[in-house]
């Protein structure tokens, strides 16, 4: 089992070439909501207290864990992935943020994934998610003890879902 605190995904060349996204007003607001929602549901901070939104963006993108999120579309599209997520899914920001989030799982695992996401939408979060995922290159990996949470705005309106995990194991 890989632990992001002690080892990086094996795609080191991609990891070194993955650039952070350009900061926009929409991305800044999304990162604030993502971080605040994590704290709301878990009582913990995702990263150390940032000095401003640029520091938050840097800390999240460079974090020693995988972080990704999707929006509210009927077939939700990924709208954030940090460096570890982009590396693990063997892709870049542009491709990642155009991908339906269901494609992060193999077809046979999508039913279970949908059930867990529906549970998270009702309960706010889970910190025990386990499942098999697949990279854009077809590489399968098992994630363990993922935290999956609902992203809400300041008024409590649903804005999507996010996941964070530190442990995975390649299956092939």
CA–CA separation, 5 and 126 (whole Å): 21
- From residue 39, alpha-carbon distances to 101, 131, 135 in Å are 23, 23, 28
For the segment 145-157, what is each residue's pLDDT rounded down to a tens digit? Answer: 999 999 999 999 9
For the segment 14-52, what is each residue's pLDDT rounded down to a tens digit? Answer: 455 677 788 899 999 999 999 999 999 999 999 998 999
For the segment 87-128, what is each residue's pLDDT rounded down to a tens digit? Answer: 999 999 999 999 999 999 877 677 777 777 778 888 889 898
Of the pLDDT bands very low, low, confident and very high (cuts 50, 70, 90), residue 59 is very high
What are 149's two structure tokens?
């949470």
Residue 70 has pLDDT above 70, yes or no: yes
Q: What is the mean pLDDT of residues 55-77?
A: 96
Of the pLDDT bands very low, low, confident and very high (cuts 50, 70, 90), residue 86 is very high
CA–CA separation, 170 and 10 (whole Å): 9
* 86 and 92 Cβ atoms separated by less than 8 Å: yes
CA–CA separation, 40 and 20 (whole Å): 26
Residue 138 has pLDDT above 60, yes or no: yes
| Bridging pattern class, strands 140-152 and 167-170 | antiparallel
Residue 8 has pLDDT above 80, yes or no: no
3-state secondary structure of 130: strand
């Amino acid at each position: 089992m890989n632990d992001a605190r002690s080892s990086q995904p094996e795609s080191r060349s991609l990891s070194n070439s993955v650039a952070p996204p350009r900061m926009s007003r929409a991305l800044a607001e999304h990162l604030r909501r993502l971080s605040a929602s994590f704290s709301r549901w878990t009582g913990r901070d995702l990263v150390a207290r940032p000095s401003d939104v640029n520091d938050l963006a840097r800390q999240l993108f460079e974090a020693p864990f995988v972080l990704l999120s999707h929006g509210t579309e009927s077939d939700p599209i990924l709208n954030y992935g940090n460096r570890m997520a982009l590396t693990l899914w063997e892709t870049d920001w542009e491709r990642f943020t155009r991908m339906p989030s269901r494609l992060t799982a193999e077809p046979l695992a999508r039913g279970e994934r949908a059930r867990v996401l529906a549970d998270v939408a009702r309960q706010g979060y889970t910190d025990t998610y386990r499942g098999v995922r697949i990279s854009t290159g077809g590489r399968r990996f098992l994630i363990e003890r993922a935290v999956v949470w609902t992203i809400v705005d300041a008024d409590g309106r649903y804005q999507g879902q996010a996941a964070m995990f530190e442990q995975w194991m390649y299956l092939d």
